[in-house]
Structure 1
Amino acid sequence: MAPSSFLLFFHWEDDAVYFPDTAKLSEYVLNDSGCMFTGTDRQIGAIPWFYGQFEPGILEATMLCLQKAFNFRSVSAMGDPVHVSRAISRIVNSQDDNGVMVGDWSGCYDNGRPPLSWVGSVAILRQYMKSGLPVKYGQCYAFAGVVTTMCRALGLPCRPVTNFSSAHDTDGSVTLDVHWNFTGNTELKDLNTDSMWNFHVFNTVWMRRKDLTFGHDGWQVIDATPQEISGGMYACGPSPVAAILNGRCDVVYDTSFLFAAVNADRVHWGRQKDDTWKVIAIETSATGKRLCTKVADGRPVSASLTHCDNLIDDVTDQFKHKEDTGRERASVVLASTLSPRARKDVYSKQNDIEMTVQGPDNVMVGFDVSISVTCKNKSEEKRHLEGNVFVEVITYTGKTLATCKVEEAKLTLGGFERKLLAIPVKAASYIDHVTEAAMLKVSILMRDTQRDNLYVAQETFRLRTPDLNIKCYNSSCQVDREVTLRMSFSNPLDRPLTQSYLYVESAGADDPRLLPVRSTPASCDMTCDVELTFQRKGRHSIYANFFCKELHSVKGVFEVYVQ
C-alpha cells in the first residue's frame, strides 16, 4: 500500500539543504518548467523541458525509485542528501538495476523513442511507473531533466548545467589525449578512447557536506548519464564544485573525472617513426569553454530558443578559474598531482606555429559553410608546412558519422608571418548525415617539412535548426474547453521531410501526445494543428517537438493562461 504522506527535505536554516538565497528557490525547487542548453559555446541553443515535479504521480514515482535504489529498506541514509543524490544519479539510468531510462547514442531507435524527441520528465516517469521497465531511449539532457524533476520533488535545490566542450576522460589521466599518425597525417581513432562531447548536461544539487572538511558545502555535481563505473556501479557524484574549481581530485565523489570534464588539457600525441610517442600540441583552453544554466527567475522559458542569451546564467567561474591564469594552471597541476594515473611528461612541448580555426556563428542547416584557418609563425625563421584539413559530421558526443571533406594544404610562412586558409564546405557534402546532430568538426594537421614537427588544431561548429513556432487560435483559453494550436516552421532542406511526428506535452492538460505529420516538401512550410484540453486554471507552458527522418528535433514552447 502506498504511504499517505512523505517526509521531504525542507529549507530550515539548520537543514542540510538550506539555501541562503531564498528568492532563488522559486527556480531551483518550485519551477516546474525550464530549459537546457545545447550546441557549442559560441552557438548556443535551448531545449525547453517540462519538469512537472508537482504533476500527479511524480512524487510517488520519485519515492519508488529511491526505495528501489536503497533496496526497499528504510535506512538513515535516505535522510542524507549526499546519499540520496548519489542514489538518484544511479537509479535514473538503467545500467545496474533497471532504472528509469536506457541511454543510447547509436542513432538507431526503432524499438523506442528517439532521445531528442522528449520534451519533459512527466511522460518518462509515468511510462516507467506503468511498465516497470526502463524507458527507451535517453541521452544526457533527458537524464539531467529527470534528475532535476526528482530532486525538486524531494525538496533538493537542483539545476541542470551544460558544459560546452566536455571531456570524457576514460583512463584517469586528467587529460584528453588525441593520437595522430606521424607519417600518414591521420587521426588514429582506434587509440582515442577519450572523447570530447560538444556539450554535456549534468546536474548540481545544493547541500552541506558534513562528511567533508570545511569549504565543500554548496553546489555539488551529480551526473546520471552512464559513462564510467564508480564504486562498482554507474553513479557519479556528488562532487563539490569548490573541489572541482581548485583541482582537489582527492575529494569524494568522482572529482577527478568531473575536473577533467571541465578543465582537462587536450594533449595531441604524434607516433614517431620508431613507434614512440611525442607531444605535438597542448590545448589548454579546449574543455569547459562555457558552463551555463537557466537564469534563476522562477519563470518559464521564452518562445525564442535559437536566440536565448536572456535565458543563460553563465556559471563558468564557479567551476574553473579564468583560462591560462596562474590560479587555473595551478589547479591543473594540482589535479595532475592528485590523480595517480596522470602522466607527468606532458608539459615540455612548446609550439612556434599557432593555428586557429574560425567558422560562422549562425548558419542554418542545409546551407554552405565558410570555414577558415589562421596560421601564425611565432618564430623568426621561415617555415614550410604541408598537411591535410579534415571536415567531419559528428554527433554531440564527438562520434564521427561521416567525413565530408579532406583537402591537402601547403603553406610557407616567413618569420612572424600570419596567413589564412579558406575551407569552403558545400551543403551537399554533409546534408545526408546531419539527421541527429547538425555539427561539423574541423581538424588541421600540418608538418614542418624541414624539422618534421607536427602542428594540429581542432574546432567544432553547430549548424542551426529552425524554431517551431506555436500560435493559439482561441481568443481565450478556459478549463475543459478545447484549445487549438498551430505548429509551424520552414523546411530549410532541399528535400522533403518524411516519417514525421510531433510530440506535445503540457502541465494541466491532456496526457502527452504523439501525432503523425504528413510529409513536408522541400523548402516549404510544415504546419500542424493540435487540440488540447486543460483541466487546471493558471499559466501553463506547452512544449512541442517535431521529429522526422531527415531533421531531428525542431522544438518550440508556448505559454497560455487558462481561465
Structure 2
Amino acid sequence: MLVKFRVFLNIFRQKALCVLDPTIYLLKGDHVNVLMFAAPSGSSPQFSKGTYVPVFPTRERQTTWEGRITNTSDNVVTMAITPAANCIVGKYQISRDILAFVLLKHPTCCLPSEDAVFLDDETERQECVMTEMGIIYHGAYDDIAERDWNYGQFNYGILDACLYIMDRAEMPITNRGEPIKVVRVASAMLNSRDDEGVLVGNWSGDYTYGVAPTSWTGSMNILLTYNSSKMPVCYAQCWVYAAVFNTFLRCLGIPSWVVTNYYSAHDNDGNLNYHCWNECYMSRPDLALGAGRLWMQHHRRPVMVSMYRCGPASVQAIKHGQICFPFDAAFVFAEVNINSDVVFHSRRKDGTMELVRVNRTHVGRLVLTKSPGDVTRRDITDQYKFAEGQGLHRTQMSVFQEAADLFSVLEPELRKPLVESKNYMKRLVEQANLHFIVTGKIRETGQIITAMKVVTLHNPKLIVEV
C-alpha cells in the first residue's frame, strides 16, 4: 500500500507563522496533523530526558504528547499531535530522516496551569508576543524622545538565528524547556564581552569599523548577520541590546517588552540619563512572593566590568526591597529605587572632600514602556518603586525635607548664565546630550546647593507638504 505523508498546520487563536521552507514551525499546544509516531531531539535523544517522545494514536496508551487519529481516507491516515506545555524548545525530527519541525513556547496555546509563560491578558499577550513593531523611549526625563523599532520576530531566518544563540552558548538541550534558564543564557549571549555573543558595545562615538547604534532600526539585520557570519555584530548600546533581546524572547513565545528608566544608576561611576532593559513574563516557583507568574527584569549589555548578564529579577521583589531573591535583584534595585542616592561633594582647599548634599529622589525618576495595543506611553514607575511620600519612601523624604527647610527663609535670586553651543558641538556624540551640573554657595549660611539637568539638542524638523 502506498502511504502519503501529509502535514497540516492548524494554529488557533492567532495568525500562522511564516513558513517559507520545508521546516514546520509548531507552537506548544497547537494541533499538528502528522502521520508519524516519534519526535526525537538532540544528538542522542532519550525518553527519560524528554528529548525522545513517542506518540501513540490511542487513548489507552498516551505519553506527555497527546496523539489521536483524526481521519482515514484511502491510503492516507491523519494523526493529530498536541505537544506538552513544558516540552523542550528546539528542533525536532519526526522519525529521524522524514520530516523536521521547530517547537516553540507560546502563551496562547496551552492551559494557564500548564505553561510557565502563559499571559492571561489578551491585549498584553498580543503586544508582548505577536506585535512586530515597537517604540523605544530615550532622551531625557523632561524631554522624552521615541525611536521606532522593527522586532521582526516572525521573519524568515530569525528563528534559526535565535536557536543558534542557544547552540553557540552550548546550552544543554534538556534546559531549553525552562524559561528561566533560556533567558539567563540568552541575556549573557547578547553581548560579546566574554563569549563571542551577538553584539559589540561601543560608547566612544567612533564607529568606523561598524554601524553606529543610532543607525539600527530593527533586529533582523543584526540577528541574520550574526547567524551567517558567526561573529559579533558592531555596534550596540543599551536600547539595541534590549531590542534584539526582545526579538529573541518574542520569537520563542516568551512575552516581553522594552523598558526605559530615566536617571538610571549604573556601576560605580555615576548614573545615566536613561537606560533600557527588558521585562518578560514567566512563572517563578522558586520565589515566595505569593504570585504564580511575575514580570521579570533582564539586562543584556555588560552592566559592570565583571558582570555580563543580569536577571531574571522579579519586579515585585525590586519594589519591596527583597534583594535576596535571584537573580541580581540588588543591582536592579539600586538602578531604580529610592535608596539609590546622588551624592554631591565639595573639595576643600587641602584637597579633602566635604559632603554637600544627598539627593534621594533623582534616580529612577520615570520608567516607561509602550502601551499594549496603542502607540502611547505606559508609566510603570509604580511597579518598581513606591511613590514619593508613601511606604518606604516616607522616612527618607522626612530627612530630606528637614534639610530643605533651611533654605526656605532666604529670598530666591535668579541668575541666567550664558552657555554657547559652539563651545560644545565638537565634543557631542550621536545622541547630542548636554549634562549640566550647577553649584552655588549661600553667603549668609555657607550652605552649598547643587542641581543637575540633561538637555538634548534636536535637529530641525523637516516637514514635507504635497
Q: Which residue of 1 aligns with 2:105?
A: 9
Code of the residue aligned with 1:351 in structure 2: it is A
Asked if 1 retains the 8 angstrom alpha-carbon contact of 2:171 and 2:185, the reply is: no
1:98 and 2:196 equivalent?
yes
**Match of residue 323 from structure 1:** 388
Alpha-carbon distance change, 467 to 96 in structure 1, aligned in 2, over 3 angstroms: farther
Contact 2:219/2:247 (CA < 8 Å) preserved in 1? yes
Q: Which residue of 2 aligns with 1:144?
A: 242
Whole-Å Cα distance in 2 between the matches of residues 7 and 33 of structure 1? 23
* CA 93–350 in structure 1, closer or farther in 2 if over 3 Å, else same: same
- Cα distance in structure 1, aligned partners of 2:445 and 2:416: 25
Deviations 1:344-369 (A, max 9, x none): xxx79963588xxxxxxxxxxxxxxx
C-alpha distance in 2, partners of 1:63/1:286?
40
Distance 2:137 2:185 in 1: 25
Note the residue ranges of structure 1 that are not aligned, 5 or more in a row.
171-193, 300-309, 334-346, 355-376, 380-415, 474-563
1:280 alignment partner, one of 338, 342, 356: 356
Counterpart of 2:408?
A: 378
Q: What is the aligned counterpart of 2:176 among 78, 86, 95? A: 78
Aligned to 1:119: 217
Distance 1:49 1:348, change over 3 A: closer
In the other structure, the counterpart of 1:270 is 346
Encode CA deviations 1:208-257: one digit per residue, 9 max, x unaligned: 1111113364111001011226xx75110001100111122212111111
Q: Distance in 1 between matches of 2:449 and 2:437?
A: 11
Superposition deviation, residue 422 in structure 1: 1.1
Q: Secondary structure at the match of 1:219?
A: strand
The aligned counterpart of 2:187 is: 89
What secondary structure is seen at the aligned counterpart in 2 of 1:155?
coil
CA contact (8 A) 1:38 1:199 kept: yes
CA distance in structure 2 between the aligned counterparts of 1:321 and 1:470, rounded to whole angstroms: 45
1:206 to 281, 302, 313: 281
Structure 2 vs 1, CA of residues 240 and 321 (structure 1 numbering), >3 Å: closer, same or farther? same
1:166 aligns to 2:241 (yes or no): no
**2:413 is matched with which residue: 419, 429, 437?**
419
- Cα gap change, 1:29/1:466 in structure 2, threshold over 3 Å: closer, same or farther? farther
Q: 1:138 to 1:61 in 2, by over 3 A?
A: same
Counterpart CA distance in 2 for 1:153 and 1:296 is 18
Please tell me the residue identity of whatever aligns with 2:173: S
**Secondary structure of the corresponding residue to residue 149 of structure 1:** helix
Letter in 1 for 2:172: R
CA distance in 2, matches of 1:466, 1:150: 35
Counterpart amino acid of residue 221 in structure 1:
Q
Q: Count the aligned residue pairs.
A: 362
CA change 1:424–1:277 in 2 (3 A) is closer
Q: Answer yes or no: is the 8 Å Cα contact 2:313–2:326 preserved in 1.
A: yes
Of 245, 249, 256 in structure 1, the residue corresponding to residue 323 of structure 2 is 249
Checking the alignment, whether the CA contact within 8 Å between 2:278 and 2:297 is kept in structure 1 is yes
1:157 Cα offset (Å): 0.2
Q: Distance in 2 between matches of 1:428 and 1:246?
A: 46
Q: CA deviation at 1:199?
A: 0.8
Aligned partner of 1:51 among 151, 165, 175: 151
Residue in structure 1 matching 2:311, options 234, 237, 240:
237
Question: 1: distance between equivalents of 2:356 and 2:385?
Answer: 25
* Separation in structure 2 between the aligned mates of residue 329 and residue 134 of structure 1, nearest angstrom: 47
Instruction: Provide the residue aligned with 2:441 in structure 1.
Output: 447
5+ unaligned residues in a row in structure 2: which ranges? 1-42, 44-90, 93-99
Task: Provide the C-alpha distance between the structure 1 equivalents of 2:123 and 2:236, rounded to a whole number of angstroms.
Answer: 32
User: Relative contact order (C-alpha < 8 Å, sep 6+): which is higher?
Assistant: 1
> 1-side partners of 2:132 and 2:102: how far apart?
19
2:319 maps to 1:220: no
Q: Deviations over 1:273-308 (max 9, x none)?
A: 5665443111122111111111110x6xxxxxxxxx
Query: What SS is found at the alignment partner of 1:268?
Result: strand
Q: Over residues 356-383 of structure 1, what are the superposed CA-to-partner deviations in whole Å (9 max), with x where a residue is unaligned?
A: xxxxxxxxxxxxxxxxxxxxx324xxxx
Is the Cα contact below 8 Å between 1:279 and 1:349 reproduced in 2?
A: no
CA contact (8 A) 1:163 1:262 kept: yes
Residues 469 and 156 (structure 1), Cα distance of their counterparts in 2 relative to 1, 3 Å cut: farther
Q: More displaced, 115-124 or 423-432?
A: 423-432
Q: Is the 8 A contact 1:223 1:235 kept in 2?
A: yes
Question: How far apart, CA to CA, are the structure 1 residues paired with 2:156 and 2:463?
Answer: 29
2: CA distance between counterparts of 1:123 and 1:104?
A: 18
* Distance of aligned partners of 1:212 and 1:269 in 2 relative to their CA distance in 1, 3 Å threshold: same
Q: State the distance in 2 between where 1:57 and 1:468 align.
A: 36
* Structure of greater Rg: 2
Counterpart-to-counterpart distance in 2, 1:273 and 1:433: 30
Query: What do residues 48-69 of structure 1 show as CA deviations (whole Å, max 9, x unaligned)?
Result: 1010000001011101102222
- Distance (Å, rounded) in 2 between the aligned partners of 1:273 and 1:424: 28
Equivalent residue in structure 2 for 1:67, among 139, 142, 167 = 167
Greater mean deviation of Cα atoms: 461-470 or 220-229: 461-470
Is the CA contact (8 Å cut-off) linking 1:292 and 1:312 kept in structure 2?
yes
Q: Following TM superposition, by how much is the alpha carbon of 1:423 offset from its aligned partner in structure 2, in angstroms?
A: 2.5
SS in 2 for 1:420: coil
**1:527 aligned residue:** none
TM alignment of 1:187-206, pairs within 5 A: 194-206=269-281
Distance 1:199 1:84, change over 3 A: same
Q: Secondary structure at the match of 2:139?
A: strand
State the one-letter code of the partner of 1:434.
Answer: L
Name the SS for the 2:311 alignment partner. Answer: coil
2:451 corresponds, among 457, 469, 480, to 457
- Tell me if structure 2 keeps the 8 A contact 1:282–1:349: no
Q: Which amino acid aligns with 1:213?
A: A
Q: What is the CA-CA distance between 1:317 and the residue it aligns to?
A: 1.1
Residue matched to 2:96: none
Q: 1:8 to 1:286 in 2, by over 3 A?
A: same
- Counterparts of 2:325 and 2:347 in 1: how far apart (Å)? 35
RMSD: 2.6
